[in-house]
Amino acid sequence: MRSVLPPGIARRLWQVMAGGGILATVVYTVFPSSVLSNVAFAGLAVTVVAACFIGPRRWAAEPPSAWRSMAAAALLFMIGVLIRPTVTDMAMPWPLLADAASFSGYLLLGVFVLILLHRRGSLDRHAALDGLTVCLSAGVASTLLLALPAAAIADRDPVLSLIQGTYPLFDIMLALLTVNLTFTAKHWPVSLIGLLTMMIGIFVGDLAYAIEGVSGKIYGSPLLNVPFMLAYTALGVAALHPSVADMGRAAKPPVQAWSWPRMSLLLPALAVPYALLLTPVSRSATGRNLIAVAGCLSVALLLIRAVSAVRAQVAAQLRSEHQATHDPLTGLPNRQSMTSQIARLVTVADPEGHDRVWVYMLDLDGFKWVNDSWGHDTGDQLVIEVGRRLRSTVPGSIPVSRVGGDEFLLGFIGEKGGALRLVDDIRGCFARPFTVRDHDVVISASIGISHAEGDPDNATVTAEALMRDADTAMYRAKGEGPGRSTIFDTSMHAQVRERIELEVALRQALADEQLHVAYQPIVRLESGIPVGAEALVRWLHPERGAIPPMTFIPIAEDAGLITAIGTWVRKEALRQLGVWRSEGTVGDDFYLSINVSPRQLSDPELPLIVSGEMMRYGVPPHCVALEMTESVMVDGSSVTSRVLFELRELGVKLLIDDFGTGFSALGYLRRFPVTGVKIDRSFVTGLGVNHEDDEIVRAVVAMSHALGLSVIAEGVETPLQREALYAVGVVNGQGWLWGAAVPAPEFAQRWRDVVLRGPEIPAIVSNPSGRHRRPD
Ligand code: C2E
Ligand code: MG
Ligand code: MG
């Protein structure tokens, strides 16, 4: 079907259906009791049966079984209506044939509505109880007013009469189900309106039949069928309209309150038995008995409904209390409830003795990378797993809560030994990788710990202070590297304040142009002649003077300022190099080495931006090196990896800064397009004195040569270190031996001096090892 009908036509079919239905009804009304009217009726019914297959299939309405049973119901109704005039006057049990068809039709119609209700999640206990109450009243009323009088008609079979009176009862039940459908609908699409119209049509038709039935007629004028024809038309429209797909979609039931629309159905329903007492039907014993039973039942239903409502209220309250005190993701207590749990521990702890309250604040290291590389769903899953593992590892008496994105808080009461053992337990949770959506995620947590004596009088204040201090200690632990733990001490407060002040000042610094770039030469060890320079950012604070990058770069990273700073430094350095090149200050191969932080490398636009800047300042790619730490490659997301490859394709050098201080796994050197390493200062310091450092540098050089990487030694301060580096085959070095980082004019002056007068530091004459293969 989907492929046969063009979408434009399929979209308009319901209008054709509406027009056709009305036309058939007009024909039926104008030529009653004729062959033509029968053809119109049957034609309409068969079309609608087909529509119940075609529409839902075209618009992918779920579930198809619902619409199949509706189609069957429509077919059965048609059979019932068409055979009724013929069978009514036959002997029993023939007349029952029409009713058998109609009854089965009702059953299937009921099934249809029930399936839809189920699909939409709209079946609700309270709605059902309310429905039953209304049904009961309508049932007793229709029995007493319609069915019993019909049954009392002497000259026909009482079974037949009774059956006639029960039709409106069916209708009432179906109408209630449909009303439930509307109660729980958020909006009213055409299909829903169509179904409601169908129900009204059926109800009016059946009521008309039943009223006729009281006067003894089972089958009166064929015009009684007009409402059914309209019902068919409405059903056809409902099935063919595109909104038929919405009928089976979950519409979350709103709170089933006794709303005014519902009360306007319920109140008359409850009054029905009493109102019936005032009518003649209560004069007979059967009538009175029926009214009494219905009255009792409706009171019982009312009571059940009331009790159930109260219970639901209590359950809702408990649920909302749980929601207010628990984290929805992990199900662990949230910060608010953790505060009161820690306050409780503070009241229990010993005011002077050994048992203190310990609070642990955990923050996952590199969680942002997990989120960025694998998506937030995986991040959420990881948080759930961490929560689960923490909860199952530490004893049940120790409260564990989630207090932020990737932050967990634990509380413990006891002496120091126990408190430290708990740190080991927590660390143990992170020893094994977490399996999240088929990925093995290795992650550590930084732990900040605070502790206090018991203080029943100020429990909440102490609890809040403990949590704040644990947080401060956690930040300190983070600063020391991943997987560390730190116990709070009061000096940390001052540090935190200082850090916040610096962050504010740094934002200002960018705007006020307090930053500038200094250049430190990178030289050939052999000749002492610079081959390039590293661009290093400097911050001159108007009051505090020079603030070292080691202090403000980490703050910039945390505060999200590093991209802005890094971009500014890179632009400025490239601009400067462009000027030096055009002035002839530096040679054609002189390169600038620029530091980039991990966050900059996660910007997919970076290669494009860098290539634009190089073009703008007339700097060829081989004159640009980007320095990054090993962590970039170890934690690297797929975006970072792509950025690195694209940068390398541009032709810029990629150097690993502070090489040797980070990770022991060196596989990334082969996986990523790295061109060189900068041996960290810490290894250079001990050269010629510490044998181990000699060996490490020797190994790094051997490995780099094997992989075709260039080597630069950082922090070369003494001739002795230079000799030792040269002896193991290092080609280039950087350090105070040749000069610290200086502003651009000063750097240019020195460079000119070197070119004119030769290097101040004498060149190495011999080449003792012959290992110098890459004069990069
Ligand atoms: P780095 O990239 O390893 O830079 C080398 C650091 O060693 C510089 O410190 C430099 O002044 C210092 N240094 C150079 N020679 C010697 C020496 O002989 N002895 C000693 N003891 N130190 C020496 P600086 O300028 O304080 O920068 C520190 C770090 O801040 C840099 O380490 C780099 O990681 C970061 N940094 C500096 N500028 C930027 C930047 O523009 N962007 C980013 N992301 N980081 C930067
Ligand atoms: Mg560097
Ligand atoms: Mg370095």
Letter for the amino acid at 730? V
Nearest alpha carbon to residue 190 among 230, 240, 248, 241: 241
pLDDT higher than 60, residue 774: no
pLDDT higher than 50, residue 555: yes
The answer for residues whose C-beta is within 8 angstroms of residue 763's C-beta and 6 or more apart is 526, 527, 528
Rg value, the chain, Cα:
42
Q: What are the tens digits of pLDDT across the range 373-395?
A: 778 888 999 999 999 999 999 99
**In angstroms, rounded to a whole number, what is the distance separating the alpha carbons of residues 119 and 248?**
6
Residue 760 pLDDT grade (very low, low, confident, very high; cuts 50, 70, 90): low
**In angstroms, rounded to a whole number, what is the distance separating the alpha carbons of residues 169 and 143?**
8
Q: How far is the CA of 600 from the centre of ligand 2 (A)?
A: 15
Residue 688 confidence (pLDDT): 79
**In angstroms, rounded to a whole number, what is the distance separating the alpha carbons of residues 490 and 492?**
5
Higher model confidence: residue 595 or residue 200? 595
Q: Are 63 and 100 in contact (CB under 8 A)?
A: no
Q: How far is the CA of 593 from the centre of ligand 2 (A)?
A: 8
Residue 185 confidence (pLDDT): 67
**Cis amide leading into 63 (omega within 30):** yes
Q: How far is the CA of 695 from the centre of ligand 1 (A)?
A: 24
Helices 691-707 & 719-728, crossing angle to 10 degrees? 50
Higher model confidence: residue 61 or residue 92? 61
DSSP state of 432: S
Whole-number Cα distances in Å, 478 to 219, 365, 474, 483, 632: 87, 8, 6, 8, 17
Residue 4 pLDDT grade (very low, low, confident, very high; cuts 50, 70, 90): low
Residue 758 confidence (pLDDT): 66
Structure tokens of 727?
């002896």
Q: Range with the lowest mean pLDDT among 69-78, 396-405, 658-667?
A: 658-667
Q: Where are the domains of the chain?
A: 1-120+185-249, 123-183+254-322, 335-489, 508-744
Helix or strand holding residue 653 (H, E): strand 653-659
Give percent above pLDDT 70 in the chain.
90
- Mean pLDDT, the chain, rounded, equals 86
Helix (H, G, I), strand (E, B) or coil at 776: coil
Q: How far is the CA of 498 from the centre of ligand 1 (A)?
A: 22
pLDDT higher than 50, residue 247: yes
Q: Residue of the nearest CA to atom 25 in ligand 1?
A: 536
Q: How many CA atoms lie within 13 A of 193 on its CB side?
A: 9
Residue 367 confidence (pLDDT): 87
Helices (H), 621-718: 630-635, 638-650, 668-671, 681-685, 691-707
Is residue 246 lining ligand 1, measured as CB closer than 6 Å? no
- CATH 3.30.70.270 for domain 335-489, yes or no, is yes
Phi, psi of 461 (to 5 degrees): -60, -45
**In angstroms, rounded to a whole number, what is the distance separating the alpha carbons of residues 604 and 677?**
24
Atom from ligand 1 closest to the CA of residue 716? 18
Is residue 520 lining ligand 1, measured as CB closer than 6 Å? yes
The answer for residues whose C-beta is within 8 angstroms of residue 149's C-beta and 6 or more apart is 165, 214
The answer for residues whose C-beta is within 8 angstroms of residue 408's C-beta and 6 or more apart is 332, 361, 362, 386, 387, 390, 400, 401, 402, 445
Neighbours of 706 (CB within 10 A): 8
Atom from ligand 1 closest to the CA of residue 678? 3
Is residue 548 lining ligand 1, measured as CB closer than 6 Å? yes
Is residue 365 lining ligand 1, measured as CB closer than 6 Å? no
DSSP codes joined into one string, 602-635: T-TTHHHHHHHHHHHHT--GGGEEEEE-HHHHHH
Is residue 546 lining ligand 1, measured as CB closer than 6 Å? no
**In angstroms, rounded to a whole number, what is the distance separating the alpha carbons of residues 464 and 355?**
19
Residue 276 confidence (pLDDT): 86
Q: For the domain 508-744, what is the CATH superfamily, name and number?
A: EAL domain (3.20.20.450)
Q: Residue of the nearest CA to atom 22 in ligand 1?
A: 715
Is residue 569 lining ligand 1, measured as CB closer than 6 Å? yes
Q: What's the average model confidence in pLDDT over 106-111?
A: 90
Structure tokens of 200?
């009204």
**In angstroms, rounded to a whole number, what is the distance separating the alpha carbons of residues 121 and 486?**
51
Atom from ligand 1 closest to the CA of residue 658? 3
Atom from ligand 1 closest to the CA of residue 734? 15
Q: What are the tens digits of pLDDT across the range 326-363?
A: 999 999 999 999 999 999 999 988 777 778 999 999 99
Structure tokens of 743?
């502003």
pLDDT higher than 60, residue 776: no
Ligand at shortest distance from the CA of 661? 3
Helix (H, G, I), strand (E, B) or coil at 377: helix
Q: Range with the lowest mean pLDDT among 188-202, 435-449, 761-775?
A: 761-775
Residue 189 confidence (pLDDT): 86
Neighbours of 283 (CB within 10 A): 8
pLDDT higher than 70, residue 641: yes
Atom from ligand 1 closest to the CA of residue 517? 41
DSSP codes joined into one string, 66-127: HHHHHHHHHHHHHHHHHHHHHHHTSPTTTHHHHHHHHHHHHHHHHHHHHHHHHHTT---HHH
**In angstroms, rounded to a whole number, what is the distance separating the alpha carbons of residues 37 and 45?**
12
Q: What's the average model confidence in pLDDT over 34-56?
A: 89
Q: Range with the lowest mean pLDDT among 14-23, 340-349, 647-656, 757-766?
A: 757-766
Alpha-carbon torsion angle 673, 675, 679, 680, nearest 10: -50
Q: Are 320 and 326 in contact (CB under 8 A)?
A: no
Nearest alpha carbon to residue 82 among 255, 219, 209, 250: 219
Q: Residue of the nearest CA to atom 7 in ligand 1?
A: 715
595, 601, 603, 678, best to mutate for ligand 1 pocket (most atoms within 8 Å of CB): 595
Residue 217 pLDDT grade (very low, low, confident, very high; cuts 50, 70, 90): low
The pTM of the full predicted model, rounded to 2 decimals, is 0.55
Q: What are the tens digits of pLDDT across the range 724-744?
A: 999 999 999 999 999 999 999
Higher model confidence: residue 616 or residue 202? 616
Residue 130 confidence (pLDDT): 81
Atom from ligand 1 closest to the CA of residue 570? 41
pLDDT higher than 60, residue 271: yes
Is residue 598 lining ligand 1, measured as CB closer than 6 Å? no
Atom from ligand 1 closest to the CA of residue 562? 44
Letter for the amino acid at 427? R
Q: How far is the CA of 661 from the centre of ligand 3 (A)?
A: 10
Is residue 595 lining ligand 1, measured as CB closer than 6 Å? yes
Is residue 572 lining ligand 1, measured as CB closer than 6 Å? no
Q: What's the average model confidence in pLDDT over 230-258?
A: 80
Is residue 332 lining ligand 1, measured as CB closer than 6 Å? no
Q: Range with the lowest mean pLDDT among 2-16, 94-108, 282-296?
A: 2-16
pLDDT higher than 50, residue 524: yes
536, 656, 683, best to mutate for ligand 1 pocket (most atoms within 8 Å of CB): 536
Is residue 680 lining ligand 1, measured as CB closer than 6 Å? no
Is residue 657 lining ligand 1, measured as CB closer than 6 Å? yes
Residue 2 confidence (pLDDT): 45
Q: Are 305 and 130 in contact (CB under 8 A)?
A: yes
Helix (H, G, I), strand (E, B) or coil at 651: coil
Whole-number Cα distances in Å, 377 to 50, 364, 391: 44, 16, 21
pLDDT higher than 90, residue 564: yes
Atom from ligand 1 closest to the CA of residue 569? 41
Q: What are the tens digits of pLDDT across the range 444-473?
A: 999 999 999 888 888 888 899 999 999 999
pLDDT higher than 90, residue 616: yes
Q: How far is the CA of 597 from the centre of ligand 1 (A)?
A: 13
Ligand at shortest distance from the CA of 659? 3
Residue 762 confidence (pLDDT): 62
Secondary structure, 3-state, 1-45: CCCCCCHHHHHHHHHHHHHHHHHHHHHHHHCCCCHHHHHHHHHHH
Is residue 597 lining ligand 1, measured as CB closer than 6 Å? yes
Atom from ligand 1 closest to the CA of residue 717? 18
Structure tokens of 771?
């290992």
- The CA angle 194-199-200, to the nearest 5 degrees, is 95
Q: What are the tens digits of pLDDT across the range 152-210?
A: 776 666 676 667 667 767 777 777 777 677 766 667 789 989 998 998 888 888 878 77
Is residue 109 lining ligand 1, measured as CB closer than 6 Å? no
Ligand at shortest distance from the CA of 550? 1
Q: How far is the CA of 536 from the centre of ligand 1 (A)?
A: 6
538, 593, 714, 720, best to mutate for ligand 1 pocket (most atoms within 8 Å of CB): 714
Give percent above pLDDT 90 in the chain.
46
Q: How far is the CA of 389 from the centre of ligand 2 (A)?
A: 39
Residue 701: alpha-carbon gap to chain centroid: 47
